[in-house]
A and B are shown apart, each in its own frame.
Chain A
Amino acid sequence: MKIPRPRGALTEVLFESLLTGSDVPSAPAGTDDTDAALALWVLYELHHHGFDDVDDEREWDPDLLRLRAELERDLEDRLRERWTGPPTTGAFTATFFDWVAEQDGVSLAAHVHRDADRDQVLELLRVRSIYHLQESDPTAWVVPRLGVRSKAALMELQYDEYGNGDPNRLHHHLYALGMEASGLDASYGAYIDEAPLEILEQNNAMSLFGLHRRFRGAALGHLAAFEATSSLPSRRMMQGLERLEFPAELVDYYAEHVEADAVHEQLAVRTICGSLLEEEPQLEESLWFGAFTCLDLEDRFGRLMLDRWLSAELTAECQDVA
């Protein structure tokens, strides 16, 4: 992957620095949200795949880390401002699925199931690829920060995400196969230039939670919410893709998630978050923060896409449809 197209004053100067070694900028007050989010995404990518045209030494450049910290503070402030606080109804493991069911986010899967046209689905596949081609990687950062029980529990789930030792079953590889069969470019980050703010924020939040030990609770709460909202929507995605005659490789990616995530949602809530809370009960609020952030960012992304594709009236009809 090469450095993406800049989207504002900050990324213009930052990308110049990454390419040439010129001075690293600060993020001035009033930086455009998308510009700031793309800058942070690129800085996180130095820790993931890197860029063909950036020296790998820059991963730990103190000036870049200083800028990353500035952007992370802004992101954290924004996520916390949106958070409505932990529910007061009961313990995490006992109430989590009911809490998820009560959230009234829009469902892109419902739209794909019934109404989406082929171009809309291709657009969705392209921007979703920013995450699906590195699926589970941000959560892997959390493993060394955990106690014995929650670490073993998380690895039980992650092992399945990574194909149980079989590269042909590794989830982000399955997505790549589905993209290729659909005529899309499956190379990592190929569609970053068209990723909207909402996609950049989703990915940045996962990296933020994964890369900071203090967010280990939020990372696992995010995982639980992600898994708990995957199985049924994946079935609807399958049905929509079959309706539109997308190739079997892509349908297979979602078929795998129907069954895998019916397991993973139980593991995430009961064995992973349950163990974490027994080891570190003070992290319960952080679990809820991560779970809320996951659902809130997905709702923001869903609304953006439906508003782009549909009238407001139809967007409302997609609300609260799993």
Chain B
Amino acid sequence: MSFDHPDAILCPGGPMLIRGNHAVEDPDGVPHGTTRPVSAVCRCLKSSSLPWCDGTHKVLPADLRPA
């Protein structure tokens, strides 16, 4: 038996989780390398740690959160 183990997971209202080593560009075009087995990429673009999620989506009004 095998199990689903996706490389990326879209979290409703929150970040995208990515597994493995990647370079993710922030909105200024600066690449940031992943440092952990799973990373959370910000999708609301309000994080203070872009390109990484810092939980800020949770304090946004529902209509400003990512789908």
Q: Which residues of A contact B (CB under 8 A)?
A: 97, 101, 148-149, 156, 159-160, 164, 231-232, 235, 258-263, 265-267, 270-271, 322
Mask: chain B, 34-63; 1 = CB below 8 Å from A; 0 = not: 001111100000001100111110110000
Please judge, given known A-B contacts A97-B58, A259-B49, A263-B53, whether A164 and B14 are in contact too, CB under 8 Å. Answer: no
| Cβ–Cβ < 8 Å partners of B54 in chain A | 231-232, 235, 258-259, 262
A266: contacting residue among B15, B36, B49, CB under 8 A = B15
A sample of 26 inter-chain contacts (CB < 8 A) reads: A97-B13, A97-B14, A101-B58, A149-B3, A156-B38, A160-B36, A160-B37, A231-B53, A232-B58, A235-B48, A259-B49, A259-B53, A259-B54, A260-B36, A261-B55, A262-B40, A262-B52, A262-B53, A263-B15, A263-B17, A263-B38, A265-B55, A266-B17, A267-B17, A267-B38, A271-B9
The distance from the CB of A213 to the nearest CB of chain B, in whole angstroms, is 23
Query: Cα distance A156–B5 when bound, in Å?
Result: 12
Q: Which A-chain residue is minimally distant from B1 (CB atoms)? A: A148
Instruction: Evaluate contact between A263 and B40: CB separation under 8 angstroms.
Output: yes
Within 8 A of A (CB), among B10-47: 11, 13-15, 17, 36-40
Known contacts A156-B38, A160-B36, A270-B11, then 17 further A-B pairs from the complex at CB < 8 Å, ordered by chain A residue? A97-B13, A97-B14, A97-B58, A164-B36, A231-B53, A235-B48, A258-B49, A259-B49, A262-B40, A262-B52, A262-B53, A263-B17, A263-B36, A263-B38, A263-B53, A266-B9, A271-B9
Are A160 and B52 CB-contacts (below 8 A) given A266-B11, A266-B14, A322-B59? no
CA distance A97 to B53 in the complex (A): 15
Rounded to whole Å, the gap between the CB of A238 and the closest CB of chain B is 10
Q: Distance (Å) between the CB of B67 and the closest chain A CB?
A: 15
Task: Report the Cα distance A74→B41, complex, angstroms.
Answer: 44
Given A97-B13, A266-B17, check contact A156 B37 (CB 8 Å).
Answer: yes
> Shortest beta-carbon distance, B45 to chain A, in Å?
14
The distance in angstroms between the C-alpha atoms of A160 and B59, with both chains bound, is 26
> A232 and B37: CB pair below 8 A?
no
Can you list the 6 inter-chain pairs with the closest CB atoms, starting with the nearest?
A231-B55, A262-B53, A263-B40, A232-B55, A262-B40, A262-B55
Give Cα distance in the complex from A271 to B4, angstroms. Answer: 11
The chain B residue with its CB closest to the CB of A233 is B55
Chain B residues with Cβ below 8 Å from A164 are 36-37
Please tell me which one of the listed residues A148, A159, A263 contacts residue B39 in the complex, with CB atoms under 8 A apart.
A263
B49 CB, min distance to chain A CBs, angstroms: 6
Cα distance A154–B48 in the bound complex, in angstroms: 27
Given the complex, which residues of A lie within 8 Å of B38, measured CB to CB?
Answer: 156, 160, 263, 267
Which residues from chain B contact A235 at a C-beta distance below 8 Å? 48, 54-55
- What's the nearest-Cβ distance from chain B to residue A88, in Å? 21
